[in-house]
Chain A
């Protein structure tokens, strides 16, 4: 029997990381109130240790053992739950995480934090008066004295209630039979009269002789391990004389009312080889390594059979835990799809025009099925944002210690669902925003008190859905952003011209300019080489955007707007020249036919279209993309008005086509990022269409007009 545990490694890893999160959350909660989360913390540590031992993660086992011991004392009330210990335990969680990684990659973790925390744990453990080290290592004292074939005599007298614990002597004898040949003699002398027999009691005892066995006394004791308290067990090594004694004994016994059973061992070999065969029936090349280890697998089995699980164990693949209900839903939908398909193919068998109506309704059904199926599949990728929010309680905890500020974290909307990929990529930007809020946003306690605020600052994370996107807010009730300071710094850095008049939103946007963050501002916490510009870039690469609102003295709010999924998009198909483009439906305000009287040319060849109160700049796609278009005159042209970040733009197109959902494909896979294009998709006829990146197009247009302005300005200067 060869059982490969490597295939369970991914499960163990996943579970361990979850366990660590449970520990972390639990430990943070422990501080605020003394609840029973200590039990779940203990259980998590306990499970990690158990699994780690199984997979040979020795560094983890050793380390977690200390943690577990400490937790065990806390759990039993033998130890007071001290703040200092919680701090050590939190650090231990980080250490275990490192060690799991190290053990997984089969390297020795040399991070100095490990030994530091280890000694802290030991210190803490030693400070307690009670001796709590569980004797885990008691297995090692195996005596290996007897190696030659020997015979043993066992007197086994169970207590009457033995069977009530679920033990059965017969099975014990069977287990013994695996060790050696047995001769068993049953003693029925204690058997009461039939009328007095208690059916649940055991009245028999046995004398067992093991002949020519390699088994040691410990091996035999091990078999009786579970019943040693419920029986009288005498094990004696038989010398040659003793054997003859026994034979005499037997002779005497045989005179009395006793029966003798012969149990022939199924495997006449020694324990070693019998278990070896048990473990490896296929291969004759099994190698025994040492006496404690039963067998190792032969090389061939590992190369052959284990290939698949090993491939699965690749850590990068990633996995999603999906609720059974979601899977059931999928199965149902696939079932419906199959029905529709068979209905349609039957219809196609002998089709004539009279059946057109049936065909149409069949196709409608197919459309419905596909749509539902698609939604369900998408839902599988959706996870509650709590997965991303989980790390923040710990972060805030650490940040308040580092900054010496009192910070409270409030989390709202953690059940809001988000695509797994988006979630994974939004984590770091959010961490940066929270660090920033703690470092720059929240004022020091003195300042807060001086300003009549509560001494405890609050950072709140909030997530909610708006249409097809999710909004994540990072709020702080700190001092707000100092508009003047930002502006001055930007001028100093040459990011904006002096005397330029900017709106608040524009000023706050400067925070995201590359090179805005200054050296004087870099602290241990938020100044880690990644600036806010990177945060913005990351968010934009996810198709999202970030906005800042701030009120002096009251605090700031960083609002991140992200698409729910990166895989699918509702789009409006438009045509420009020979090309079809897709405009994300979510960006479209309205589509209209331009009326000549509403077109204005202002400030040097800029075309504005009057849309009720707004003047909307017109952006001809053919110009931006260098295409041949059918319609180049703005008069009577079709305009699709889109909006991004409060900026409306009228895109000039040749024709409006259908609206449909499209699956987004990356251009970067085989090509590269293209300005103004967020991706591509495949249309019903198999052709490729580009998906327009509205913010990108606006940026492109701005760049073009800036270049135009600059040349114009330079020209003016020369003239003057």
Chain B
């Protein structure tokens, strides 16, 4: 079963993403900020990371950079969850090594459809 890491400081968004993925049959581990996410990632392998951008302690961009440094996350898809669909955001994400981005507002079906581009 594919295992995902969800990093978001917003409880409700995290719960919703997690719930959506779990009901689609994926395994989900949650983290509430970048630092916690990184710690979790160091201990386990994941098939996909979905991370918020704006978070305390370590933001999503930094998390993405850090993850790419880990040998186990070299090719792992990392999606940024963001409300900002501006090009600037995408460039910053890409530079940090993100695979793609998901634009809020969060829509469960859309999420499931989109992640198929990076995981199955």
The answer for the CA separation of A46 and B54 in the assembled complex, in Å, is 8
Chain A minimum-CB-distance residue to B97: A165
- B7 contacts across to A, CB distance below 8 A: none
Provided the pairs A51-B10, A174-B116 are in contact, do residues A167 and B100 lie with their beta carbons within 8 angstroms? yes
Q: Is chain A's binding surface mostly helix, strand, loop or mixed?
A: helix
Residue contact B85 to A136, C-beta cutoff 8 Å:
yes
A50 within 8 A of B: yes
Shortest CB-to-CB span from B56 to chain A, Å, is 7
Residue contact A47 to B13, C-beta cutoff 8 Å:
yes
The answer for the CA separation of A175 and B100 in the assembled complex, in Å, is 14
Number of B interface residues in the complex (CB < 8 A): 44
Residue contact B120 to A163, C-beta cutoff 8 Å:
no
A246 within 8 A of B: no
- B83 contacts across to A, CB distance below 8 A: 46, 49-50, 53, 136
Contact with B along A132-170 (1 / 0, CB 8 A): 001110110000000000000000000000011111100
Number of A interface residues in the complex (CB < 8 A): 47
Residue contact B99 to A1, C-beta cutoff 8 Å:
no
Residue contact B109 to A135, C-beta cutoff 8 Å:
no
Residue contact A294 to B109, C-beta cutoff 8 Å:
yes
- A279 contacts across to B, CB distance below 8 A: 109
The answer for the CA separation of A165 and B109 in the assembled complex, in Å, is 24
Residue contact A226 to B101, C-beta cutoff 8 Å:
yes
- B100 contacts across to A, CB distance below 8 A: 167, 225-226
Chain B minimum-CB-distance residue to A40: B56
Chain A minimum-CB-distance residue to B119: A171
B11 within 8 A of A: yes
How many inter-chain contacts with C-beta < 8 Å in the A-B complex?
128
The answer for the CA separation of A279 and B24 in the assembled complex, in Å, is 10
Residue contact A134 to B101, C-beta cutoff 8 Å:
no
Shortest CB-to-CB span from B110 to chain A, Å, is 7
Contact with A along B11-40 (1 / 0, CB 8 A): 111011001100110000000000000000
A719 within 8 A of B: no
- B84 contacts across to A, CB distance below 8 A: 134, 136
- B11 contacts across to A, CB distance below 8 A: 11, 14-15
Contact with A along B73-90 (1 / 0, CB 8 A): 011111000011110000
- A42 contacts across to B, CB distance below 8 A: 54
Residue contact A1 to B23, C-beta cutoff 8 Å:
yes
Provided the pairs A42-B54, A54-B105, A171-B116 are in contact, do residues A163 and B75 lie with their beta carbons within 8 angstroms? yes
Shortest CB-to-CB span from B113 to chain A, Å, is 7
- A163 contacts across to B, CB distance below 8 A: 75
- B105 contacts across to A, CB distance below 8 A: 50, 52-54, 61
Shortest CB-to-CB span from B68 to chain A, Å, is 8
Of the candidates B9, B23, B74, B107, the one whose C-beta lies within 8 Å of that of A43 is B9
- A12 contacts across to B, CB distance below 8 A: 12
B5 within 8 A of A: no
The answer for the CA separation of A104 and B118 in the assembled complex, in Å, is 36
Provided the pairs A15-B10, A47-B10, A225-B100 are in contact, do residues A167 and B85 lie with their beta carbons within 8 angstroms? no
Chain A minimum-CB-distance residue to B113: A275
B58 within 8 A of A: no
A410 within 8 A of B: no
Residue contact A134 to B16, C-beta cutoff 8 Å:
no
The answer for the CA separation of A11 and B94 in the assembled complex, in Å, is 32
Shortest CB-to-CB span from A576 to chain B, Å, is 54
B55 within 8 A of A: yes
Chain B minimum-CB-distance residue to A168: B118
Chain B minimum-CB-distance residue to A56: B105
A688 within 8 A of B: no
Residue contact B75 to A275, C-beta cutoff 8 Å:
no
Residue contact A226 to B99, C-beta cutoff 8 Å:
yes
Shortest CB-to-CB span from B63 to chain A, Å, is 14
A406 within 8 A of B: no
Shortest CB-to-CB span from B77 to chain A, Å, is 4
A504 within 8 A of B: no
> Which residues of A (200-224) have their CB < 8 Å from a CB of B?
200, 223
Chain B minimum-CB-distance residue to A167: B99
Residue contact A134 to B85, C-beta cutoff 8 Å:
yes
The answer for the CA separation of A14 and B24 in the assembled complex, in Å, is 26
The answer for the CA separation of A8 and B20 in the assembled complex, in Å, is 11
A3 within 8 A of B: yes
Residue contact B13 to A165, C-beta cutoff 8 Å:
no
- A164 contacts across to B, CB distance below 8 A: 74-75, 97
B117 within 8 A of A: yes
Shortest CB-to-CB span from B54 to chain A, Å, is 5
B70 within 8 A of A: no
B98 within 8 A of A: yes
Shortest CB-to-CB span from A321 to chain B, Å, is 10
What would 7 A/B residue contacts be, using CB atoms closer than 8 Å? A43-B55, A134-B85, A166-B76, A168-B77, A174-B116, A175-B117, A226-B99
Q: Which residues of A contact B (CB under 8 A)?
A: 1, 3, 5, 8, 11-12, 14-15, 39-40, 42-43, 46-47, 49-54, 61, 134-136, 138-139, 163-168, 171-172, 174-175, 178, 200, 223, 225-226, 229, 275, 278-279, 294-295
New A-B pairs, 9, CB < 8 Å, besides A11-B12, A15-B11: A39-B56, A50-B104, A54-B12, A168-B77, A178-B113, A226-B118, A229-B94, A278-B112, A279-B109
